[in-house]
Structure 1
């Protein structure tokens, strides 16, 4: 008797996934809940485990190929429910098979996050010597191998002429999904971006004050997320999703704010769900947790799904403005940029030095016109320039 493991519908409208890494081969004897493969959807990396123990008699597809909902991932021969529970003589035969297979595969032992890190650097894990028990490879092992391999490249050119050749990097995994999403966004949505500058000296002082009364590492982003939830309540057309099939705009009553996180694999957008119901401190804590998960590859599909509005930051070293790309099916995205000191007109009408931040609001011009954009930006600037006004809406 065999058991076909099917690729199931994992929700959020996801119907396909790219095979990133196989952890088993045909002929392997596997255990229940053993990791079978790692796939990449357009939302996240997902690990699939086996619900049965037995012998793998079929395996679908190669790394880089697609799986579709309903496809058979593997077929497991599980006579008497499990081949593991056979007489000792057969167990010995199976063990011999496993040893033979293991020699052929020369499998490396490394966590999925380490494998992702190695792929981002172009390192073949079979070339890396693991420092942990049973030869398990860590990120530090990969980094040390990479650093050593790239040390003194000019000196190595004579012995390794291949170093002078062009490098081709396959577009796959998360980068492939980003490629597809950006292509869809660019060629489907008529993007228009409004830009403005806002003086942030009051915001800087506001954060400094909060820092004195919390143990949480507090950046500006949690505060801005809280501002945005209030701005979206006043401007509901921006907290919306577009149903293109039915030609309907869905005004969302939940305020689920996505924020971009840069990882070795690319940009991931975790979501703070029900942000309007959380304090700045709670948002900050959740952001730290989600950032760690995103960078370690352990973030779940739920944690990056369901966003209604997104904020992107170009960081301290970024420029003054940008044109952020909208995440379908959302209708707008806010970009916040580097804070820089500039000459400003003070309340006394004198020229002084102030800290200025650029903001960029990209919006779907099929759904949103210029006038509501101006109001959105004004409402946001009011909160940033007078952050204490947030208290007026606190219940």
Structure 2
């Protein structure tokens, strides 16, 4: 019996995943329930267990993206069964980059499409000691690796050797391939300046994709301002002096900010909306996400129905999500369904930012560090007060300046009158 290990569907929004890391070696024996690999979805990293006991053939490659349902490994009861399963056209993963898979595995289908000359070169190159990248570059340039000498470890042909061969060949026909020679030279010179190369993958690739997609999707505008929060600072101090020992934890500024925004979104529901295709969708629930820095990147856990929670309940749920986020055990549900997002850059000393909207939401609130700064009071006297820098990025397709201003006025009012956090 041979079992297929497929990319599972984790959450309704999941379409694909990137293989972060295999925890076992190809061909090794594993037990049912043993962790085989880690995958990175658009939301979070998951560990995938073996469905059976047996021997593993790895098909999926680290750093590559696969659709849900793609076969990334097979587990056989015996090594003999595994070998029979590996006959041509068996166990081919449904990888998005099928061309790369077939190329690296010398598929018969691709081989038949090559010209006789290309086939001869590839047959020779397979017998030569060369890195996979050098082979790939040589194939693209039509260079016969058997004519080259390697300068890599153990005499292996490396990328530099292939580029050097192309550069030397170009000198004999400068008029025809002057441009190609220049490009080759530039590549060689660039390599001398590079300290390290690494693929953009996992959570960093997900963040990069989402950020670019967000900017290309909506018309984003950012309002920047600051608010005096001296009363809020005092309020928090008094609250913790009275309640910290009873609660078992201290109330943080993040707890207060989340409570304030939950009140505003209930009063200003247009800010708790999304634009989906040609429709404006106003959500029933207020589900507030907050940016959380974790190892390797950033995630956005979501507090569901936050407008129905007390300050104490918000603090408890927030602390739980942060703890599980740092431990890497957030679920897809923890990271989905958000209708508005807060990001606090004050934790690393930031004061003002221009945050990018978490699609398909229509706004994100960025909060900075609270600083003691000179202010002018109502008597036109200069005093020292506590100020916080903030920024509201909103989708101008739906939110106009007046609506954004109303949100900011409500937020400033609560910050200057923090006892409202206990009665609303």
* TM-score calculated relative to the size of structure 2: 0.69
Q: Quote the residue 2:115 is aligned against.
A: none
Question: Which 4+ stretches in 1 moved above 4 angstroms?
Answer: none
- Per the TM alignment, residue 316 of structure 1 is displaced from its structure 2 partner at its CA by 4.9
Residue 19 of structure 1 pairs with residue 19 of structure 2: yes
What whole-Å deviation, never above 9, does each CA across 1:107-158 have from its counterpart, x for those lacking one?
Answer: xxxxxxxxxxxxxxxxxxxxxxxxxxxxxxxxxxxxxxxxxxxxxxxxxxxx
- Per the TM alignment, residue 324 of structure 1 is displaced from its structure 2 partner at its CA by 0.5
Residue 363 of structure 1 pairs with residue 362 of structure 2: no
Q: Quote the residue 2:51 is aligned against.
A: 51
Give ranges in structure 2 of 5+ residues lacking alignment.
Answer: 83-192
For residues 166-315 of structure 1, the aligned pairs below 5 Å read 166-212=195-241, 213-214=243-244, 215-244=248-277, 247-315=278-346
Q: Quote the residue 1:67 is aligned against.
A: 66
- Per the TM alignment, residue 317 of structure 1 is displaced from its structure 2 partner at its CA by 5.0
Residue 30 of structure 1 pairs with residue 50 of structure 2: no
- Per the TM alignment, residue 20 of structure 1 is displaced from its structure 2 partner at its CA by 0.6
Q: Which is greater in Rg?
A: 2
Secondary structure in 2 matching 1:342: strand
What whole-Å deviation, never above 9, does each CA across 1:143-187 have from its counterpart, x for those lacking one?
Answer: xxxxxxxxxxxxxxxxxxxxx961223211111101101110122
For residues 377-392 of structure 1, the aligned pairs below 5 Å read 377-392=408-423
- Per the TM alignment, residue 282 of structure 1 is displaced from its structure 2 partner at its CA by 2.4
Q: Quote the residue 1:154 is aligned against.
A: none
- For the 8 Å contact 1:335–1:361, the answer to whether it is kept is yes
What whole-Å deviation, never above 9, does each CA across 1:330-377 have from its counterpart, x for those lacking one?
Answer: 111000111122222334553321111111000011111111111000
- Per the TM alignment, residue 283 of structure 1 is displaced from its structure 2 partner at its CA by 2.0
Whichever structure has more helix as a proportion of its residues is: 2
Secondary structure in 1 matching 2:338: coil
For residues 92-111 of structure 1, the aligned pairs below 5 Å read none
- Per the TM alignment, residue 234 of structure 1 is displaced from its structure 2 partner at its CA by 1.2
- For the 8 Å contact 1:216–1:281, the answer to whether it is kept is no
Q: Which moved more, 1:247-256 or 1:70-79?
A: 70-79
- Per the TM alignment, residue 278 of structure 1 is displaced from its structure 2 partner at its CA by 2.1
Q: Quote the residue 1:340 is aligned against.
A: 371
Number of residue pairs the alignment of both structures matches: 310
Secondary structure in 2 matching 1:353: strand
Partners of 2:309 and 2:315 in 1: how far apart?
A: 10
Q: Quote the residue 1:323 is aligned against.
A: 354
What whole-Å deviation, never above 9, does each CA across 1:14-39 have from its counterpart, x for those lacking one?
Answer: 11111011123443222221111100
| RMSD of aligned alpha carbons | 2.3
Q: Quote the residue 1:118 is aligned against.
A: none
* TM-score calculated relative to the size of structure 1: 0.74
